[in-house]
Structure 1
């Protein structure tokens, strides 16, 4: 298997292990062995290793988008469309997603941090992510008749009460809106089991 050079520590590891440590948190690598082993097997046996190495090299050589929050820098470049950023709690990419969120227009950006989902919320919590995405689209005026289950009920309850709907455990989503400046609203959702 190809080995990767870790420029910080000088250690080498196999490319599949390097990719796995990018996809999963350390906690997941230790505790979610069945899912991690499934991915290790797929990455090591199914994926063309030469192509994986090329992909990894391109990923590591990507550059910053050079965007800034409107109003913080004269003529700031930013995304003008609605954006939904999703990251699992304790995901390896959490800091990068939070930093990206800080550079986007808070009036058009929704930040979703999913509890109990780690580095791959689309794999570990697909139902919750799908429902959050439906809600995001509904907020833009699409899918007005989409049935929203736990997420919608939880959002309504969290905006009116600090306690959960059933009183026994946290609900699927907490949606908070806070002003960071005049007329700016920051959309943040945290999804938990």
Structure 2
């Protein structure tokens, strides 16, 4: 093949590579995705990979940021100050259940599942990103129900993580939503009981 007919390889698209990595990490988890998996999926060699992303952990962080940008729950809308707390929290849990179970392959929350990575650096990155969402929920509860804000925030965090893990384990979207609705009813009863105690 001469110079005129030789096809020049197109430049590597780094953002497209992040999207590829995001799908792999979301489907399999950080620990189960190897460098060989990433370079094969992106059709690049290891030196090019390191030049583009620095490390697997650094790419994981970029992939999680991309995931968060595309999939973050609209907390400002769900936890609107003028919305009754029981309704707002129930809506949050239901929205999470729908999101975690909507795809047959990319299930659960990528960031939540990243917090279970064996790799300490990757796990810390996921925890840092998840912290912002939990803090936003806690700030909302501090405003609307300060007396039980910490316990409620912990309950919501545990429920969200349980929904994500269950989605990853194959629980159907219908069952996930039923669990979210049941948790929402429980929180509504707890808030009502707490308010009754405070008023008496």
Alignment TM-score > 0.5, same fold: no
TM-score after normalising by structure 2: 0.32
Bigger helix share: 2
Please, what TM-score do these two structures have when normalized by structure 1?
A: 0.32
Q: Which has the larger radius of gyration?
A: 2
State the structure with bigger RCO (CA 8 A, min sep 6), 1 or 2.
Answer: 2
